[in-house]
Amino acid sequence: MIVTFTINGRSCQIDVPGDHRLLDVLRVNLGLTGTKEGCGEGECGACSVLLDGQVVNACLIPVAQVDGAQIVTVEGLEAAGGGPLQEAFVALGAAQCGSCTPGMLMSAYGHFLESLRNGDDPQDREGIRHALAGNLCRCTGYQKIIDAVSKGYEELARMPSLPPAAPAPQTGHNDPSHGGGPGHGSLTG
């Protein structure tokens, strides 16, 4: 079938069987090998991508399901506004072998966007731990990952606006009591 979707801000149309995994379409058909396969069963999170602003495991998504959707992979994370997370991962030693890193970053950025949508404080450390619980890492003990996510969120909160590639928040983003920083009230979407 012909599937049309937006990938990292660019529209894309491909002709593949609709039951092919989004993961294979990204890696094989589109050559976006940044998204990793860790288990193929939705257990490890290495293939996490953003699908319309939500974190999904690309190994569990038949490509037919993404028709008309917006997808962001690690290759598009910087343009989508996640650059501060990437910088923090490098600076604080959150990437070791790097296999879980792309998925971890996408989950972290997804959690940030979701926190904004729900009016939650993304900085809550237990909240970060739960948001990343579906992303397995065998190198770090998660300590430096959580530290880096937290630092990345700080930087994100300082940014005057997120780039257009970031999906628009739906609710609660103006509530100053959540203390997420000045970024909350000025998202442009």
Partner 1 sequence: MSVGESVARKDGPDKVRGLTRYIDDHNPAGCWFGATVRSAIPHGRIKNISFPKGTRWDRFVMATAKAIPGRNCVPFLTEDLVLLADGYVRYVNEPILLIAGPNHDEVERAARAVEIDYEPLPAILTLDEAIAAGTTDGCQVPRPLHIRRGDIEEGFARADTIVEGTYRVGHQEHVYLETNGFIAWWEPDGRVVVKGSMQCPYYVQRALKMLFALPGEKVEVIATPTGGAFGGKEDFPSVLAGHAALLSREVGRPVKMVYNRTEDFTSTTKRHPARVHYRTGVDKEGTFTACSVDFVLDGGAFITMSPVVLSRGVIHASGPYHYPAIEIHGRCYATHTPPNGAFRGFGVPQVFFGIERHVDRIAARLGMDPVEIRRRNLLKPGMRTATGQLLRDGVSAAEVLADAVDRSGYRERSKRPAPGPGEPRRGVGLALYMHGAGFTGSGEARMKSLVGMRLTRSGRVEILTASTDMGQGTRTVFPQIAARAMNIDVDQVFVAEPDTARVPDSGPTVASRTVTIVGRVVQQLAETLARRILRFVAEEQGGGPDGYALQGTHVLSREHGTPVGTLADIAARMTEASGDVYLEQGYTLNPDIRWNEETHEGDAYPVYAWGCTVVEVALDPDTLEVQTTQVTASHDIGTVVNPVLAEGQVEGGVAQSIGYGLYEEVHWHEGRMLNPGFTNYVIPTSVDLPDIDAGFVENPFPDGPFGAKGLGELPIHGAAPAIANAIAQATGIDVCELPVTPERLLAASNAAAQGARDDRHDPASETKKGEAT
Distance CA 98, CA 53 (A): 23
Return the beta strands (E) in the chain as ranges: 2-7, 10-15, 48-51, 54-57, 70-72
Burial class of residue 124, CB neighbours in 10 A (0-12, 13-18, 19+)? middle
Q: How far is the CB of 28 from partner 1 (least distance, A)?
A: 8
Residue 120 near partner 1 by CB under 8 A: no
Residue 140 near partner 1 by CB under 8 A: yes
Nearer to partner 1 (CB atom), residue 95 or residue 166: 95
Burial class of residue 24, CB neighbours in 10 A (0-12, 13-18, 19+)? middle
Residue 1 near partner 1 by CB under 8 A: no
> Helix, strand or coil for residue 95?
coil
Nearer to partner 1 (CB atom), residue 75 or residue 154: 75
Distance CA 106, CA 45 (A): 10
Residue 90 near partner 1 by CB under 8 A: yes
Residue 56 near partner 1 by CB under 8 A: no
Return the beta strands (E) in 27-69 as ranges: 48-51, 54-57
* DSSP one-letter string for 7-18: ETTEEEEEE--T
Question: Do the beta carbons of residue 62 and residue 21 sit within 8 Å?
Answer: yes
Paired strand residues for 50: 55, 72
Residue 75 near partner 1 by CB under 8 A: yes
Q: How far is the CB of 101 from partner 1 (least distance, A)?
A: 5
Residue 69 near partner 1 by CB under 8 A: no
Q: How far is the CB of 120 from partner 1 (least distance, A)?
A: 17
Nearer to partner 1 (CB atom), residue 95 or residue 187: 95
Residue 141 near partner 1 by CB under 8 A: yes
According to CB under 8 A, which residues from 25 to 44 bind partner 1?
27-28, 32-41, 43-44
Residues that bind partner 1 (CB under 8 A): 27-28, 32-41, 43-44, 46, 73-75, 77-78, 86-87, 89-93, 95-102, 105, 128-130, 132-146
